[in-house]
Amino acid sequence: MAKVACFLPQELFERSKVEIIPGWDFIFAKNQGEIEIIEACKRADFLLVTAANPPVTARVIKNINSVCLLQVFGAGFDKIDIEAAREVNLPVANTPGQNATTVAEFTIGVLVALQRKILIGNREVKAGNFREIERKLIQTGLKEIRGSKIGLLGLGAIGRLVAKLASLMGAEVCYYDPYRVDRDMEKELKITYCSFEELLKNSEVISIHAPLNKNTRGLISKEEIALMQPGTLLINTARGEIVDQLALAEALESGHLGGAAVDHFAPDPPPADHPLLNLSIEANDRLIVTSHIAGVTAGSFARMLKEAVQNLQRVAAGENPRYVVNGISQARFTDRKTTKSK
């Protein structure tokens, strides 16, 4: 019988209609400190955690010797010390692409909300200022996706879907990614490759779809924002640490940025004194914030959970895990038959 230390709530399995593997011992842990994680993993074959939490540190990894696969529920793995896992030959796997359409449609949604100033209109109409806000917004001149110059930072599964949707709606889309895709895909998606600096300077909308790592942490700072055109819209459905939070707040206050949408803060959740939560009324009207829900729907949860569980079953059957992110292709202790009773 395989044992799984699971840091997902049992209710998620029930709500997603994903069956807990018959005969397996799932330990649904709640406390997320290092000591608690290590304790939950005693004699466990698998560790199942979400992309958002808990942090799986080097100390944890060095003290969960029975675990043969660390499975992440979600695409992100920045909370995992993957270098420490590599050192002890522990594979770390995620579930990429299962919420790509979810995040892509969210991106298009907040872009429309920013361009059409929906939040402002909603507030003013409810306050009885229908004619005033109607006149003001018409005079301002609302923008649309058609004809917009959209720059995508990152062209993974999510970035490609955003590119496809935006191009379909008539946008002019460019992208920057350290790994340029082949020309056939660029032609298919109707996108143009450009340098990082060119993207910052020439885009009316910049949408971030890059993972958080040592190269992307602080990628958008005060200097990068200064390169953007006045009135640029910045959308971040990736990790908050990619964007300097104070620099973003200052750019909204000054009006240099026409608007921003933030789905993940740094730190997350944000403290009460976070700069993005203490903007002036005018600057606040240019900002949409959400609680890390860009990829969170019942459908995406079900797909990610199903993929994660299937990966556990795959390893238990003696196969190699899929979607490994730290280069360790084989599970530890491959001689152990986790599907059999111990």
Say if residue 132 is in the same domain as residue 203.
yes
Q: Is residue 113 part of a domain?
A: yes
Mean pLDDT of all residues in 102-107: 98
Q: Which stretch of 115-124, 268-277, 327-336 has the lowest confidence by average pLDDT? A: 327-336
Q: Are 103 and 290 in contact (CB under 8 A)?
A: no
Residue-wise pLDDT tens digits, 73-89:
998 898 999 999 999 99
pLDDT of residue 52: 78
Provide the pLDDT confidence category of residue 338 given band limits of 50, 70 and 90: very low
Taking residues 227-245, what's their average pLDDT?
Answer: 97
- 245 and 143 belong to one structural domain: yes
Q: Give pLDDT, residue 240.
A: 96
Say if 342 falls within a structural domain.
Answer: no
Percent of residues, the chain, with pLDDT higher than 90: 92
Residue 334: pLDDT band (50, 70, 90) is very low
Which tokens sit at 238?
Answer: 């990736």
164 shares its domain with 91: no
The pLDDT score that the predictor gives to residue 337 is 47
Nearby residues of 17 by Cβ (< 8 Å), 6 or more positions away: 302
Residue 337 lies in a domain: no
Same domain, 256 and 114: yes
Q: Please report whether residue 334 resides in a domain.
A: no
Whether residue 106 sits in one domain with residue 225 = yes
What token pair was written down for 63? 């003290």
- Asked if the structure places residue 38 within a domain, the reply is yes
Q: Are residues 277 and 179 in the same domain?
A: yes
Return the CATH number at 305: 3.40.50.720
- pLDDT at position 332, please? 84
- With a cut of 90, say whether residue 276 has pLDDT above it: yes
Average pLDDT of span 298-302: 95
Calculate mean pLDDT across residues 183-195.
97
**pLDDT interval class at 333 (50, 70, 90):** low
**Residue 338 falls within a domain, yes or no?**
no
The per-residue pLDDT for 53 is 77
Q: Which tens digits make up the pLDDT trace of 21-58?
A: 999 999 999 888 999 999 999 999 999 999 877 899 99
Q: Is the pLDDT of residue 166 over 90?
A: yes
Structural domain span for residue 198: 100-289
Predicted local confidence at residue 51, as pLDDT = 85
> Considering 251, 272, 289, which residue would you say is the last residue of a domain?
289
Structure tokens at 65: 């010797």
In 10 A of CB 218, how many CB atoms? 14
| pLDDT of 335 strictly over 80 | no
Q: Are 238 and 116 part of one and the same domain?
A: yes
Question: What pLDDT is stored for residue 342 in this prediction?
Answer: 37
36 & 118 share domain = no
- Give me 108's structure tokens: 């298009």
If one counts the domains in the chain, the total is 2
Is residue 211 in a domain?
yes
Residue 203 vs residues 104, 143, 149, 292: alpha-carbon distances, Å: 18, 14, 5, 25
Residues 130 and 248 in one domain: yes
- Residue 54's pLDDT is 81
Rounded to an integer, what distance in angstroms lies between the CA atom of residue 265 and that of residue 178? 24
Q: What is the mean pLDDT of residues 148-163?
A: 97
Q: Tell me: do 109 and 147 sit in the same domain.
A: yes
Task: Please state the rounded mean pLDDT for residues 9-32.
Answer: 93
Same domain, 283 and 303: no
My answer on whether 132 and 49 are in the same domain is no
Amino acid 183: pLDDT: 96
Position 327 in a domain: no
